[in-house]
Structure 1
Amino acid sequence: MRKKWLLLALFALLALVGCSDPVQDDLLHYVNDEMPELVQEETAIIDLYDSVIGPNHQDDSITYQTLTTEVIPQYVGYMDRVQKVEIETSELREIHENYIDALHLQHSAFLGVVSAIEHQDYGEMDAANAKLHEAGKMMREYQEDVKSLAEEHDVQLKK
C-alpha cells in the first residue's frame, strides 16, 4: 500500500513538473538574472555618449576622443556580454537576437559618427544619425516584444 502512495505521489510530482512553462522559466531568468546588470551597463555607456553629443557637444575633438577611447570600446565589450547570454527557448532567443541586431546597428552608428568627424562630412553624420534613429526604433520593438512574451506567459514585469 505504501508503495502505491509513493508511486502515486511521484506521478503527481512529475505531472506538476511537466506542466511548467519553459518560456516562462526562461523569461524569468532572463529579466531577473541576465539582463539587469547589462541594462545598467548600457545605460552608463549611452549616458557617456550623450555627454558629448547634441546639446552637450563642446567640440569635435572631445567627442572624437570620448567615442574612440571610451564609448566604442565599452560598447564592444557590452555587445560581447549580451551575445553570451544563455537562452533556452526559441521564442525568447528570437527576441534577444533582434536586440543584438539593434546593438550592432547602434555600434555602426557610433563608428559613423567617428568617421564623420574624421572627414568633417555632414552627409556621414546624417547617415550615422539615421542609424541611431533606426537602432532606437529596434530597441523599442525589442522592449515591446519582451512585454508581449511576458503577457503571453503570465510573467509580471516591473518598470
Structure 2
Amino acid sequence: MKKLTFILLAICCILLTGCNYEVTVSKKEGEETGSTDGDTTLSKQDKQTSILDFINKDIAQVSSFEMEAFESYSAVTGENYLNDEIIYEELTTITIPAYERALDATERLKAPFQELEPMIEQIKIASNTFYEALLLQKQALEEQDEEIMNQANEKLQEYSELIGTYHENMKALSKEFGIDYEPNGF
C-alpha cells in the first residue's frame, strides 16, 4: 500500500497548494456603492463587504481545519512514510477528526445574499468529496485493498476539480462586485 499511499500524498500536496483559501482580495478603487438590480436589500458595498467577510472569516475557518488535516496526513506519508499502521493511526485519530471539523464549519456557512449561495454549495460538495476520500483510504488500509485506494484517489481528483471550479466561480463573482480575487496556487 506504500505506493498507493504516496500517490494519495502527491495528490494531497497538489490540492493543498491549489486549494489554499488565502486569497488576495481588495476592493477596487472608485467602485459604486449603490444597490444592484438583483437584490434591493443590500447595496453593492454591502455585498462587497459580505464577500470579503465570507473569504477572510468563514472560508478561513474551514481552511484552518483543512490545513490541520493536510498537515497531519503529510506527517506520515511520502518521505515520512514508515508503515500503513502509522498512517491508519494518524488518519483515525487526527486527520479525519480535523477534517470533520472542516465539514462542520462548511455546514454552518450561510449566504448573506443570493449570489453567494452557489459558492457555499460548491464548498460543501467539495468538502464532502474530500472526506469521502479520507474514509475510503481508511477502509483501504483496513482491508489492504488497492482497488479501494484507487477509489480514494479518484475522489481526490474529483475534489481537485470541484475546488478549481469553485475558485473560478468565486473569481467571477468577486469581479462582478469589484473585488480582486486571486487564490494561491491557481
TM-score by length of 2: 0.70
Question: 103, 109, 123: which is aligned to 1:85?
Answer: 109
Mapping 1:6-155, distance limit 5 Å: 18=35, 20-21=43-44, 23-155=47-179
Provide, for residues 67-115 of structure 1, a one-character-per-residue CA deviation record: whole Å limited to 9, x for no partner: 0111111111111012212221222111111111011011011000010
More strand by share: 2
Find the structure with the greater CA-based Rg.
Answer: 1
Question: Is 18-27 or 69-78 further displaced after alignment?
Answer: 18-27
Q: What percentage of aligned pairs have identical amino acids?
A: 28
Distance 1:34 1:110 in 2: 23
TM-score (norm 1): 0.81
> More displaced, 59-68 or 46-55?
46-55
> Number of residues paired by the alignment?
144
Higher relative contact order (CA 8 A, sep 6+): 2
| Alignment check: 8 A CA contact 2:110 2:120 kept | no
CA root-mean-square deviation: 1.9
Counterpart residue identity of residue 119, structure 1:
E
Q: Please name the residue that 2:23 is paired with.
A: none
The structure with the greater share of residues assigned to helix is: 1
Q: 1:53 to 1:137 in 2, by over 3 A?
A: farther
- 5+ residue gaps, structure 1: 1-15
